[in-house]
């Protein structure tokens, strides 16, 4: 598989630019300039832009096929020219088409933040990844491929990052099946690993990158195997957005406790890196927050033991479980930060 920065792909692009500079290409060049100018007016709208760009690609494909500069050219040569065109157009339009709306920016931020939390506690077994497929080295390679996605501005090059990541996972599956005489895995193993890799990688602007590829990669190229692997990353994103306790095989209360403890962890690390009294500041924030929600969270604090109904006892037990889980996680988080629990408790005025 070619790499986005491989000499071959750069050559294609320069070849395209060189041909466009020839006097014979003046007509094509003119169309491109007009198109760019027309698309650069008005408010950016990615969806509408996508439709117009795709229509322009189709129009240009026909024009290039009929053009004397490409007379007798092979399909491959024409395809190279179209790849050059895609890269040229999308680099020029990048700022107007990539993460160009407030909603996109917000969606990106939400996913990044969510993955940041999930990273702290999601482990391979939560996603059904069998032990035999645990391979930190291969996973790290896949993570790195996915993280490269923002190093490129053309849809094709971004897509190659996704495909390279998937290929590393496939190679892992193939190697494991050969060395363990195990059935070559299908999607039952592939998707969980891809989701895990996506969580580990927390690829920048995941939502916008996927949207950009879907809208602006030449339609005729977004088919078959390529479409399948892109769909897998889209589905990984969807899984992450909708993740809950059930989807990770844990009690919802435990999941929420994990998320909260991860939030707390992030909060403390942010606070302590920005202020010399980081811990003091963040515990103050914690007190304030728990003051507001205490009544809701601990409804039996003021109840008389004798007056509890069996139903309430059951509820109380459920609460107890939540509190214990939460306490355990908090203690663990504090130990990780090398904070002594008792000392911390003593420092809080009540």
Partner 1 sequence: MGCSSSVPARSTGGLNNINNDNSATDSKDLRAKLVLLGDSGVGKSCIVLRFVRGQFDPTSKVTVGASFLSQTLALEDSTIVKFEIWDTAGQERYAALAPLYYRGAAAAVVVYDITSPESFSKAQYWVKELQKHGTPDIIMVLVGNKADLHENRHVSSQEAQEYAEKNNMVFIETSAKTADNINQVFEEIAKRLPRPTAS
Which residues touch 108 (CB under 8 Å, ≥6 apart)? 99, 204, 205, 206, 207, 208
CB of 293 to partner 1, least distance (A): 30
Among 17, 51, 187, 284, binds partner 1 (CB under 8 A): 187
By CB under 8 A, residue 343 contacts partner 1: no
Give 114-151 as a 3 state SS string. Answer: HHHHHCCCCCHHHHCCCHHHCCHHHHHHHHHHHHHHHH
Residue 233: exposure state from Cβ atoms within 10 A (0-12, 13-18, ≥19): buried
By CB under 8 A, residue 350 contacts partner 1: no
Among 184, 313, 344, 348, binds partner 1 (CB under 8 A): 184
- How many angstroms separate the CA atoms of 243 and 118, rounded? 9
Among 188, 302, 342, 350, binds partner 1 (CB under 8 A): 188
By CB under 8 A, residue 252 contacts partner 1: no
- How many angstroms separate the CA atoms of 20 and 63, rounded? 13
Residues 190-229: x/- map of binding to partner 1 (CB under 8 A)? xxx---------------------------xx-xxxx-xx
Residues in the chain: 350
CB of 86 to partner 1, least distance (A): 12
**Of the listed pieces 29-37, 171-179, 253-261, 316-324, which binds partner 1 according to CB under 8 A?**
171-179
Nearest to 334 by CA among 255, 274, 265, 258: 265
Whichever of 166 and 268 has its CB closer to partner 1, that residue is: 166
3-class secondary-structure state, position 309:
coil
Binding site for partner 1 (CB under 8 A): 1-2, 75-76, 79, 83, 127-128, 156, 159-160, 163, 166-167, 169-171, 173-174, 177-178, 181-188, 190-192, 220-221, 223-226, 228-229, 231-232, 234-235, 238-239, 242, 246-249
């Amino acid at each position: 598989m070619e790499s986005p920065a491989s000499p071959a792909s750069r050559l294609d692009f320069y070849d395209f630019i060189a041909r466009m500079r020839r006097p014979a290409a003046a007509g094509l060049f003119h169309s491109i300039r007009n198109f760019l100018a027309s698309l650069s007016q008005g408010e950016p709208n990615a969806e509408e832009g996508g439709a117009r760009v795709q229509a322009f690609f189709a129009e240009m494909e026909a024009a290039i096929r009929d053009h004397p500069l490409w007379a007798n050219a092979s399909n491959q040569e024409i395809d190279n020219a179209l790849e050059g065109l895609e890269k040229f157009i999308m680099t020029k339009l990048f700022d107007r088409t990539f993460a160009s709306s407030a909603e996109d920016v917000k969606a990106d931020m939400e996913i990044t933040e969510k993955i940041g939390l999930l990273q702290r506690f999601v482990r391979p077994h939560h996603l059904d990844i069998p032990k035999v497929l645990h391979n930190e080295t291969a996973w790290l390679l896949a993570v790195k491929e996915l993280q490269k996605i923002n190093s490129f501005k053309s849809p094709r090059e971004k897509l190659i990052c996704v495909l390279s990541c998937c290929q590393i996972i496939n190679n892992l599956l193939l190697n494991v099946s050969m060395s363990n005489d195990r059935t070559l895995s299908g999607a039952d193993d592939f998707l969980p690993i891809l989701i895990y890799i996506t969580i580990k990688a927390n690829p920048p602007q995941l939502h916008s990158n996927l949207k950009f590829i879907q809208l602006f990669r030449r339609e005729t190229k977004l088919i078959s195997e390529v479409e399948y692997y892109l769909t897998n990353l889209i589905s990984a994103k969807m899984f992450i957005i909708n993740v809950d306790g059930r989807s990770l095989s844990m009690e919802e209360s435990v999941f929420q406790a994990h998320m909260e403890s991860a939030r707390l962890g992030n909060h403390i690390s942010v606070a302590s890196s920005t202020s010399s009294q980081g811990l003091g500041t963040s515990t103050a924030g914690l007190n304030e927050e728990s003051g507001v929600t205490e009544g809701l969270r601990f409804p039996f604090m003021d109840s008389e033991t004798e007056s509890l109904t069996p139903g309430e006892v059951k509820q109380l037990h459920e609460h107890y479980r939540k509190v214990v889980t939460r306490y355990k996680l908090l203690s663990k988080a504090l130990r990780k930060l090398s904070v002594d629990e008792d000392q911390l408790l003593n420092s809080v005025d009540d």
